[in-house]
Amino acid sequence: MGALCVSLSVSCAPRAPAPAAQSVVATNLAPPRGSVLEQACTPTGPELCFNAVDDNCNGVIDEGCGAPTGLLQFVIAWGASPADVNLSVVTPAGERVPEGRTRSTPSGFHLDRDCPGEDGCGGQNLENVYFDGAEPPRGHYVVEIALAALNGAEPPVKVHLGARLGARALGFDVELGPGEDARKTFAFDLP
């Protein structure tokens, strides 16, 4: 079965992860509080857009959907909910993306999309942080998912976090609400 093409400018041939992806091995995985780590990949067919899942089990999340990727990629998706959910990544050097209005770090991490307020979200809430270099910084990482505002949504807000760590894609389902449930973190190390 071939890959689903979104436009004529997108290659339909499935691609294997680059050899550098094999050298990225995360340790000390700490899933968000109250969630379960989804490690097994079960191919469900072609890649579906805006769900933060590696549907075709090739190690890349939401490819062909306009979301840039890299050896490290973190994606959150929360459907058409009006809630404002934010994704940020803290690198081993203490860099945070995004930081205020800055959407990139000197080490090569970028926030690609900020929903629901940004043009292009169109009811498909997705935020994407990716690393665009050849060798990600080694050390401790913290990925934060935070409920910024309910905007009329009923809690809990269900969010899916997809994480690409080299050739491996992981996923977590989290629920966010007011109080101590407004922020969840995923942490890991790159030795």
Contact 61, 52 (CB under 8 A): yes
Total domain count, the chain: 1
User: Given this model, what pLDDT does residue 8 score?
Assistant: 28
Domain assignment present for 1? no
User: Given this model, what pLDDT does residue 99 score?
Assistant: 87
Q: For residue 180, what is the DSSP state?
A: G
Contact 4, 46 (CB under 8 A): yes
User: Given this model, what pLDDT does residue 4 score?
Assistant: 32
**Which residue, among 147, 161, 180, 156, has the nearest Cα to 30 in the 3D structure?**
161
Strand order, beta sheet including 139-149: 27-30, 183-190, 139-149, 84-90, 96-97
Under-50 pLDDT residues of the chain: 1-18
DSSP 3-state percent helix, strand, coil across the chain (nearest 5): 5, 35, 60
User: Given this model, what pLDDT does residue 3 score?
Assistant: 34
Q: Give CA–CA dist 28/38, Å, rounded.
A: 15
Containing domain of residue 104, as a range? 19-190
Strand order, beta sheet including 168-176: 109-113, 126-131, 72-77, 157-165, 168-176
Contact 110, 103 (CB under 8 A): yes
Domain assignment present for 160? yes
pTM above 0.75, yes or no: yes
Q: Whole-number mean pLDDT of the chain?
A: 84
Contact 127, 65 (CB under 8 A): no
User: Given this model, what pLDDT does residue 20 score?
Assistant: 62
Domain assignment present for 12? no
**Structure confidence by residue, pLDDT tens digits, 65-118:** 888 999 999 999 998 889 999 999 999 999 999 988 889 999 999 998 888 876
How far is CA 162 from each of CA 22, 60, 87, 152, rounded to the nearest angstrom? 18, 10, 11, 25
